[in-house]
Amino acid sequence: MSKHLICNESELPLNTMKAVKLDGNNVLVYHIEDGFYATQSSCTHVFAPLKKGKIVDGCKIECPLHRARFDIRSGEVVDWANFPPGIQLLNAVRKEKALATYSVSLEEGNVFVSV
């Protein structure tokens, strides 16, 4: 496992996210009310880029494509893909799957992610 400096915490304001590539992994780093978190950056449904999605309810990332929602803190699915109507047909083969998460640490105001 290696630890990477992402940025100073002041460069990642509350309710924003930053996409980075760490050792070949596409990672999304978030700053939410509960702190700093990191998940894989592609949706587990059909791999849309979550960096184009939005943070909702202060702690969830919503996929821009079919609106699956994941808890940023745990990666768990909160709501599976539900848009547009009919997407449920695809869900028969694309089952719910949590996002991979990465550990984040804050040291002297700098944000680090370990992958």
Residue ranges in contact with ligand FES by CB under 6 A = 43, 45-46, 48, 63, 65-66, 68, 81
Closer of 29 and 50 to ligand FES (Cβ)? 50
Closer of 7 and 78 to ligand FES (Cβ)? 78
Instruction: Calculate the alpha carbon distances from 114 to 7, 56, 85, 93 in Å.
Output: 13, 25, 38, 32
Quote the least distance from Cβ 114 to ligand FES, whole Å: 25
Quote the least distance from Cβ 68 to ligand FES, whole Å: 4
* Bridge partners for 25 per DSSP: 22
Closer of 59 and 68 to ligand FES (Cβ)? 68
Distance, CA of 68 to CA of 81 (rounded, Å): 4
Please measure the distance between the N-terminal and C-terminal CA atoms of the chain and give it in whole angstroms: 5
Quote the least distance from Cβ 70 to ligand FES, whole Å: 9
- DSSP secondary-structure letter at 53? S
